[in-house]
Amino acid sequence: MESPIDVVRRFCAAWGNNMATADLAAFFTDDAVYHNIPFAPVIGREAIGKNIGSFIRPGKTAAPGVVPVESIDFRIINIAANGPVVMTERVDVFKLPNKSFELPVMGTFEVRDGKIKAWRDYFDVNQFTSRVG
């Protein structure tokens, strides 16, 4: 079985490969929790897939009020694990229709049986909104 770090590395790499949202959701346990702080947590693999699909829309028109993110590349700067808990220091590169920008992110993942049980990302939401423009 893959180590927790290997699972998280593969998951982060999948974002840069424009993997389909269903394939990204498959990395999670059925009861997983995704908490993109400071927003409300999303619970369950299906809900996480829908949440990811709500902002990653390659080749599609985003819903009103939603920024049409074409892709996100998770660039891992540092990664460490303590048993099933993996922490990442990342720079996420967002590609929009007319520009791209970088966002520093700290992420914590909890891995169980080769799947992500919990994912918490911490970032400066004001920095994100100002860069989205």
For each of the domains in the chain, give its residue range(s) and CATH number, in order of start.
Answer: 4-132 (3.10.450.50)
Residue 73 annotated to the active site: no
User: pLDDT value at position 2?
Assistant: 94
User: pLDDT value at position 54?
Assistant: 82
Q: What is the pLDDT of residues 9-53, one digit of tens each?
A: 999 999 988 778 889 999 999 999 999 998 999 999 999 999 988
Cβ–Cβ < 8 Å for 118, 107: no
Q: d(Cα 7, Cα 116) in Å, to the nearest integer?
A: 8
DSSP state of 122: E
Cα–Cα distances (Å) from 51 to 3, 24, 123, in that order, read: 26, 11, 18
Q: d(Cα 78, Cα 90) in Å, to the nearest integer?
A: 7
Q: What is the pLDDT of residues 75-131, one digit of tens each?
A: 999 999 999 999 999 999 999 888 999 999 999 999 999 999 999 999 999 998 898
Tokens representing 41 are 């947590």
Catalytic: which of 30, 31, 92, 113? 92
Output the pTM of the full model.
0.90
Tokens representing 121 are 């990302």
Preceding amide of 38 cis, omega within 30: yes
